[in-house]
Structure formats: structure tokens, C-alpha cells
Amino acid sequence: MNEAVRSPQDGDTTTHEGAVARPPARTERVAFLDVARALAMIGVVMMNVTAVAFTAEMVGERETGTLTSIVEGVLTLIMSGKARAMLMVLLGIGAVLAWRSATRRGGRPLVLMLRRYAVLGVLFGVPHLLVFSGDILTHYSITALFLAPLMPLLLRGSVARPLWTAVGLFAVAPLFEYGLDLGVADLGVLIVLVPQTLGFFCVGVWLARRPELDPDFAGRTRLIGRMIWSGLLMQVMGLVVLFGSDVLFPMRMDADGVPIMTPEGMPVIEPGAQMMTSLSGTFTGMGGALFYLGLVWWLVRRDGRVARALGALTPLGRMTLTVYLASTAVFLVLKPFEGQLPTLAHYALGVTYFVVMALVARWWLGRFRLGPLEWVWRSLVHLRPMPMRRRETGVAETEAVASAPSAGGTGTAA
């Protein structure tokens, strides 16, 4: 997820309202992508803190206090669904950047992309899924394998083609989710959400084709403002759709006012309500992704104190595969204490983890070109050990930057 360079390989030289692009500077990075990747990963991991090991409040050993309710409410409001959506969009951007990088070097981008996500899913995703059911790598890897054969089509023709493809996928997703019943919970989630996730990837492909993503772009653009405002609007639309599902398809109740349950012990949900809830999640997630990406982009471009503070997250954003998997290992330490520690203690551990990892990432990338797991991934994808120590790098920076948003927003792409 690190690659942030532009290439004219796909013939995408169209300019947009107020946008004036210059020839690409292939040795530079689009700074806000690393920052956005780090923030998205922080959001995903913080939402996982209470899922890897249950808290005392979750098992009924402790009542939920006011402060805990406030913290949980704020985290849910600003991160739930939105952080993952942002990672998905970033993966789409990274897929384009890696595709162009492979094309520049005379490689076979389709073969490389298929190998890249097969390795990610098999080597990292599946083992992680076995220890944590909330894994995102496996699902993103599977969906990226569907994205790969679509890339030649999405990179040709109108710049808006990936965006309209996303709209179509978002429209089909609720029907697909309702119609597909695999019976196996974890496996079902991996497959049933593919159209929706693929839609988010396509939005990232659309953004990557915009001239504003050129690291050498210096013109004015309305894109950032439109991302912020359309993101807010889409989140409101998501709430409206969710409210509409409750009004149009109220929960079934028995004569005593108790929800009617399925044999599995779940409330009976009308098909219409299920599909509207899915559509609401799409609006809310997409809105959150556009809003946060636009906001981070705007703040980084202002080049002030906030931009410098956000810049401290850049090393973290270049090691997100390592950071993501290491977080599960750290939180599994809480397993022996499951149900004993309060929710706030779990969140405190999450905050501490990211403070430490931000320092570690800064130290590591000062000496090495890639994070440790990113290096393993890229080496397997390219079928040869990649340069690691900075003193070994006589290689062009384009190859160093040829990493893209990994599945699930994890780390450097191969």
C-alpha cells in the first residue's frame, strides 16, 4: 500500500476541472496516501481491540460506565465501517500503481497481481483467519483476485469507467448478499461481500486515474472538496436508508411484543430490511472513506503544523501489513485475562501499541527499505530476495515505491 507514483502507461492524460497535471516524477510519493493508510489501520485495529479478547463488560462481569459508553460511542461513530472502507479504496489505488510499475518494467502486471494477492491470502490471510475470525486479509485477497482480470478494462477509456463500475457493483451487492447462502459463517462472509468490496476497490482505481494523484501535481483542484462534502452527504444518506428499513420493514413481534426468532436464535429479518441495511452500510462506508481521504489530503496539502504532525504517521503507513498482524499477536496476550479487564484497559493497550509501533516503524524504515513482513511478501511475489538494507539500494526508488495498499489495507504491496 505504499506506492504512490503516476505513469502514463494507460494513456490516462485527461485533465479535470481546475486540475493541471505535470509529467510524473516517478521517484516521489503521494504523501497523504501513507498517512491515510496509517490512520485507516489505526481505526481497524482499535475496533478489533475488544474482538480478539472479550472485555469484562462484554461477558457481564462489569457494568458499562459512562466514560466507557462515551469512548465506545465516539470510536464507533468515527471508525466503524469507515476505516475498513478507506483501506479498500486505498487497495484499489495501490493496485493501479503496482500495475503501472510492473508495466514500466516490462513485466506482466496481471500475473504479478494474481501472484501478489494469492501469496497475501495464503501466507498471511488464512493463518490469521484461523486465530482471529475478524481477519480482513483473506477476504481482500479473494476480492483482489476478481479485480485483477478487470484491470485492463478499468484502466482504459473514460476515467469515470471505474466509478460507474463501482455503482453497478454497489447496486448488485444487496441482492447478491441476500441470494447467496453458504451456510458456513466465516466462509460465507469471505464470499458474500465480494461485490461490495470490489466496488470499493473500483472507487480506488478511479481515484488513481485522476491527475491529482500524480506526485508532481501542483495545480488547483475541486476534487478534494467534493470528496469531503460528498462523503458527508453519503453518510447522511446511509442513516436515512437505515431508518427507512426500520419504517418499511419493522421487526416481527409475537403477541407479547417479543421479537420472533429463527431456529438459530436470531431475530427474523425481512429480505427488504436486509438489503436496505446492506445498502446503508455501503453509503456509510463509502461516505466515511471519501470524507477521511479528502480531509487527510486537504490537511497534508496545507503543509502546516497539522500536516507535520500527520507526517509522523508516514512510517506506520508504510508497514501496515506488519503492524496489522503484530497487533493481533499483542492482543492475544489478553486471552488468559478474557472477561476480566475493562474495556478502557483494552483501548489503552491499543493506544500504547500504536505509539510504540510508530516509534519502531520510524527507526526501522530509517535503516531498511521495507517492513519485515512486507519484505517477505514482496520477495515471494517477485520470486527473489528484495533489497532490504538501505545501503544495498542502488535500485531506483520507483521499485522501492512499487508497493501498494495491501489487502485489507495492510502494508506495502508487492
Percent of the chain clearing pLDDT 90 (strictly above): 52
Contacts of 204 (CB under 8 A, 6+ apart): 88, 89, 90, 91, 92, 93, 94, 95, 96, 405
pLDDT, one tens digit per residue, over 148-194 is: 999 999 999 999 999 999 999 999 999 888 777 544 445 566 788 89
Distances (CA, A) of 312 to 86, 204, 301, 342: 19, 24, 15, 30
In a domain, 414, yes or no: no
In this structure, is residue 301 part of a structural domain? Answer: yes
Residue 155 belongs to some domain of the structure: yes
The grid coordinates listed for 215 are 506526485
| DSSP 8-state secondary structure symbol assigned to residue 269 | -
**How many angstroms separate the Cα of 325 from the Cα of each of 140, 151, 155, 319?**
15, 28, 32, 10
Please give the pLDDT value at position 268: 72
200 found inside a domain: yes
At residue 8, does pLDDT exceed 60?
no
Q: Which of 411, 2, 8 is nearest to 214 (CA)?
A: 8
- What's the pLDDT tens digit per position in 322-361? 999 999 999 888 888 888 889 999 999 999 999 999 999 9
Total number of domains constituting the chain: 1
Residues 6 or more apart whose CB falls under 8 angstroms from that of 65 comprise: none
C-alpha distances in Å from residue 237, one per residue of 106, 138, 225, 231: 44, 30, 18, 10
Is residue 303 pLDDT above 60, yes or no? yes
| Calpha distance 95→409 (Å, rounded) | 11
Q: Is residue 357 situated within a structural domain?
A: yes
CB neighbours of residue 209 within 10 Å: 22
For residues 331 and 55, give the distance between their C-alpha atoms in angstroms, rounded to a whole number: 12
Report the pLDDT value the prediction gives residue 13, as an integer from 0 to 100.
38
Q: Which residues constitute the domain of residue 364?
A: 8-409
pTM of the model: 0.84
Domain assignment of residue 369, yes or no: yes
In a domain, 259, yes or no: yes
Tens of pLDDT along 85-143? 999 999 999 999 999 989 988 889 999 999 999 999 999 999 999 988 888 999 999 99
Q: Is residue 2 part of a domain?
A: no
Question: With left for phi above 0 and alpha for psi between -120 and 50, is residue 55 left, alpha or beta?
Answer: beta
CB-based burial label for 334 (10 Å; 0-12, 13-18, 19+): buried
